[in-house]
Amino acid sequence: MVKKSRIEMNQEEADLIDKWIFLLLAANNNEPIKGRVRFMKEFFLYAINHNKKLFDTSEFYPYHFGPYSTRVAFRMNFLKTNDLIGAEFKNQDWEYFLTEEGLDKAKKPYEETSNQNLEPLSIIKNNNKRLSLKDLLKEIYVDYPKYALRSIIKEEITKEKIKPENLIVIDDGPGFVSSVSLEEEEIELKDEAAKRYLELISK
């Protein structure tokens, strides 16, 4: 089976992801989100719990710090490159927010979206800003263990040992199936990077 690129999507799919990137960042008066990892996890929590179409379109899969979507990351980079998302380095991490142009772009989807759909964004953003990134990851790893399978910091975050299966089969979504042995996973892990990251998010 030929795998498609994870960023391959049509315009409708790109527009859907863009819309919810705008709305998540615009929530709570455009309050910045600290770090790409936190942004990705908040986007994941909204999609998996409140928006099945967005979740299916995003095609989340397990990665080094838990659930990750190449599509969402690609669209976020696209919007940032086009000056719709701003970034400012503060307290050892980047904070992301909508620029004035981004807020203009967000105005129409915001007005067309019901409060019922907007409220969870505000709640997720507000609740998770109170958590350290380490605690946020721990909650996600416990609640959605499938997405912690490839995490390079799972053991340190959850204080659990990785189960000694000989083979882990992960369904990454339509068109993606990968079978990875623990030995191959060990080679892939970037231990030193994980250690530094843990030190950063524990401060």
pTM for the model: 0.79
Question: In this predicted structure, what is the pLDDT of residue 77?
Answer: 96
pLDDT at 4: 56
Dihedral of CA atoms 139, 142, 146, 148 in degrees, nearest 10, equals 60
pLDDT for residue 159: 73
**pLDDT the model gives residue 6:** 74
User: Which residue, among 12, 6, 74, has the nearest Cα to 43 in the 3D structure?
Assistant: 74
- CA–CA separation, 75 and 83 (whole Å): 12
List, as one string, the DSSP characters of 144-178.
-GGGGTT-TTHHHHH--PPP--SEEEEEEETTEEE
Q: Mean pLDDT for each 10-residue chunk of the chain (203 residues)?
A: 69 97 97 95 98 97 94 96 95 92 96 95 94 93 93 82 40 37 45 61 62
Give domain limits for the chain. 11-201
Q: Looking at the chain, how many residues does it have? A: 203
> Please, what's the b/e burial string for 50-71 (b: 16 or more CB within 10 A of its CB; e: otherwise)?
bbeebbebbbbbbbbbbbbbbb
Backbone angles phi, psi at 99, to 5 degrees: -75, 175
Task: Give pLDDT, residue 172.
Answer: 40
